[in-house]
Chain A
């Protein structure tokens, strides 16, 4: 069996379910009646090989190996009937997972074909810079949550905490920062997030202020605009500001 395994292209599997489907197909096994002992052995051989070659973090494969061994053990136990006198095959759940995965794996090849078909076509995309738009912060009106998260990740990098072990209680709460931002927005129509960060010294205050912005965004107390990814965020008054 080892010899045969070596002939498998080791990187062709997307995960344990993919490998199991391969083994079932290769050995022409019946998916209704999977020979658990055989497939567990083949699967473990493969995982050992993959581990030797440090192919991937084996986590998902180890989890499946454990599932297979659990099923194998349960198959050895005397069959116990449940309340309805129906005998549940310990392999049922695995079979359902394999079939469900197979549906999407098949669809994947359709997507791959569509991709190949569309690849040679290029869209006409006009320049995004529009000279008539004076306020360039308004270009990206439709800021997505994901963009905001990326920008935050980028900005917070400057706040690496020194590795110390003193524990100090920092007095900063979400509602405090909401109040703080409200105060600033009373005085000024537009705030720069990067500008705000300059005032803060600790990572915690930055995080809590960011959460406060998200909270206010949710309540429509503020609006957030950004001209491009990783650029500064501009905070202005929202429709329910001051309510």
Chain B
């Protein structure tokens, strides 16, 4: 089968699938549509990555691979199936991935909904000093510093990173579940009291 786009023969679909597969294996970050086109040069500018990915993904599924293609952080990446976790753990010195503490998760939740935020913004919501949580999250690259506030004190501004999206399996921060409004919480509390 020849890949046709608007009547023009571009690349054979099997070749295309192989190219995309090679890119997915070698990519250090999620493979985006734009990056894919850069890699293909002129010949690939009209090929929609999404379609090739869909073909490749269905191949993987049919042949029962131990991995699949995940849409994450605005691109695609190869990820192992959940059932192999217990074996994969053996590859790492620590027992699998570390989990984030409650404090770190709270801090991360505040940053992801309110970004960009200062440490002060975070602490005034949590009511506790959040220095060590911020440090952990920066060390693990889930957060990054993005400039300074444009006001006296010029406090550092924090944002979530690409690694954050990967860690939580999100395509973009817009995919986060909506934060409940205060009114909803109050309405629920009223019901509880009745």
Q: Which of B88, B126, B170 contacts A122 (CB 8 A)?
A: B88
A124 touches B24 (CB 8 A): yes
A52 CB-CB contact with B under 8 Å? no
Known: A100-B182, A103-B179. A15 touches B82 (CB 8 A): no
Return chain B residues, CB-CB under 8 Å to A159: none
**Is A108's beta carbon under 8 Å from chain B?**
yes
| One of B43-51, B55-63, B93-101 at the interface | B93-101
The answer to whether A108 and B106 touch across the interface, beta carbons within 8 angstroms, is: yes
B180 to chain A: which residues have CB within 8 Å? 103, 106-107
B150 to chain A, nearest CB (A): 15
A119 close to B145 (CB less than 8 A): no
B3 to chain A, nearest CB (A): 25
B contact residues around A14 at 8 Å (CB): 102-103, 106, 126, 128
For the complex, give the distance between the alpha carbons of A125 and B163 in Å. Answer: 12
Q: In whole angstroms, how far apart are the Cα atoms of A101 and B167 in the complex? A: 24
Residues of chain A within 8 A (CB-CB) of B145 are 144-146
**Residues of A contacting B103 with CB < 8 Å?**
14
Is A9 in the interface zone, CB < 8 Å from B? Answer: no
Q: Tell me the complex Cα distance, A28–B181, Å.
A: 21
Q: CB-CB contacts of A94-115 with B at 8 A, as 1s and 0s?
A: 0001011111111110111011
- B127–A60 contact, CB under 8 A? yes
1/0 contact trace for B57-78 toward A, CB 8 Å? 0000000000100100000011
Identity of the chain B residue whose Cβ is nearest the Cβ of A30 in the assembled complex: B193
Bound complex: CA A119 to CA B89 (Å): 11
| CB–CB B168/A114 < 8 A | yes
Asked if A17 meets B127 with Cβ closer than 8 Å, knowing A30-B193, A100-B182, the reply is: yes
Interface residues of B in 75-115 (CB under 8 A from A): 77-85, 88, 96-97, 99-100, 102-103, 105-106, 108-110, 113
Please, could you name 5 A-B residue pairs with CB atoms under 8 Å apart, sorted by A?
Answer: A59-B129, A101-B125, A119-B97, A123-B78, A123-B79
Binding site for A on B (CB under 8 A): 24-28, 67, 70, 77-85, 88, 96-97, 99-100, 102-103, 105-106, 108-110, 113, 125-129, 138, 144-145, 166-170, 177, 179-182, 185-186, 189, 192-193
